[in-house]
């Protein structure tokens, strides 16, 4: 299939997981994969970065793609950033590469610099519950300094997670690390750092809305939930006050963009907010 031009795009999905490396190895341990499949009621179409490129090109979409560095806590390595970056370099019309660095790593700062300087990543995905840290822990601040200086984006998982859901002790996952308000300190201390709060932030949705209203560099993505389950206040603010700061994200492969868009079509989100959410806001944020 021919490469897409920016004018061909119908949407930019800002939340896409590369779950497999080029050898077909899953980035989640088997028990956690089984639990997350049970939670989302299906077996999602796991793909490597090249497979994601083909999948999104068919749909005339770009995808922000990443894995999650949770090897220290879950014992399973993330998909290597060089694989994601190389796939993005081969498919620049559809893939925007993000890295993931566990802030606990002794080489976290050096790894982040390498990801930017050698691999050209555009941002970093953090999952505070999987990586066992509070976003406002000063331990992570040297990492944010690198990201801010590079003009890259920090994307934080917020709220509930399907990872570990139903497992004894939640598979060791502590939800409290993903409270949105913990990122408020990060936004104050790094005022030039563009931040995306991922997912409807249940049970702290109002915190995320308040932060996006208050801080000019905080954006919200709508991934991880079918739109038919969005809280009413999220739909209201996304349609009005925050229509310039809300981004389409699916959480592929756990939720496909096809399913997400079908359910989004049923929401009462008028134009121009609908077009901004699907394409315009991300186009501006990523300079597409």
Q: What's residue 140's pLDDT?
A: 98
189 assigned to some structural domain: yes
101 assigned to some structural domain: yes
Q: What's residue 36's pLDDT?
A: 85
Residue 146 CA to residue 113 CA, distance in Å, equals 7
Given a contact cutoff of 8 angstroms between Cβ atoms, the answer to whether 59 and 10 are in contact is yes
219 assigned to some structural domain: yes
CA-based torsion, 54, 56, 59, 60: positive or negative: negative
Q: What is the CATH number of the domain that holds 96?
A: 3.20.20.140
Given a contact cutoff of 8 angstroms between Cβ atoms, the answer to whether 116 and 158 are in contact is no
Give the residue numbers spanning the domain of 32.
Answer: 6-286
Tally of domains within the chain: 1
Tokens standing for residue 233: 């206040």
The predicted model scores a pTM of 0.96
188 assigned to some structural domain: yes
Task: Name which of 162, 219, 184 is nearest 17 in CA terms.
Answer: 162
129 assigned to some structural domain: yes
182 assigned to some structural domain: yes
Residue 99 CA to residue 107 CA, distance in Å, equals 14
Q: What's residue 129's pLDDT?
A: 98
**Which residue numbers in the chain have pLDDT < 50?**
none
1 assigned to some structural domain: no
Residue 191 CA to residue 148 CA, distance in Å, equals 9
Given a contact cutoff of 8 angstroms between Cβ atoms, the answer to whether 181 and 207 are in contact is yes
Apex 248 CA angle, 246 and 250, nearest 5? 140
Q: What's residue 223's pLDDT?
A: 98
183 assigned to some structural domain: yes
22, 27, 32, 38: CA torsion to nearest 10? -50
Q: What's residue 1's pLDDT?
A: 67
């Amino acid at each position: 299939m021919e490469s897409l031009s920016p004018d061909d795009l119908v949407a930019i999905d800002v939340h896409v997981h590369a779950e497999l490396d080029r050898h077909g190895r899953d980035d989640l341990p088997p028990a956690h994969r089984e639990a997350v499949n049970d939670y989302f009621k299906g077996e999602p179409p796991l793909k490597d970065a090249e497979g994601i490129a083909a999948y999104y090109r068919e749909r005339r979409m770009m995808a922000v793609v990443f894995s999650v560095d949770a090897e220290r806590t879950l014992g399973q390595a993330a998909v290597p950033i060089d694989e994601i970056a190389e796939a993005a370099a081969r498919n620049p019309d559809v893939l925007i590469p993000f890295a993931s660095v566990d802030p606990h790593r002794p080489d976290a700062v050096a790894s982040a610099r390498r990801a930017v300087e050698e691999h050209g990543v555009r941002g970093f995905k953090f999952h505070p519950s999987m990586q066992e840290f509070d976003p406002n822990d000063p331990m992570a601040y040297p990492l944010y300094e690198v990201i801010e200086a590079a003009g890259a984006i920090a994307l934080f998982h917020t709220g509930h997670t399907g990872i570990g859901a139903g497992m004894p002790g939640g598979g060791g996952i502590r939800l409290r690390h993903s409270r949105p308000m913990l990122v408020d300190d990060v936004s104050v201390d790094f005022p030039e750092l563009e931040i995306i709060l991922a997912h409807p932030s249940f049970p702290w949705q109002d915190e995320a809305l308040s932060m996006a209203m208050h801080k000019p560099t905080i954006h919200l993505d709508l991934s991880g939930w079918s739109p038919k389950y969005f809280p009413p206040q999220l739909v209201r603010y996304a349609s009005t006050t925050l229509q310039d700061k809300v981004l389409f994200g699916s959480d592929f492969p756990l939720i496909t963009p096809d399913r997400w868009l079908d359910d989004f079509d049923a929401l009462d989100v008028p134009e121009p907010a609908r077009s901004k959410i699907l394409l315009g806001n991300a186009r501006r944020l990523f300079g597409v």
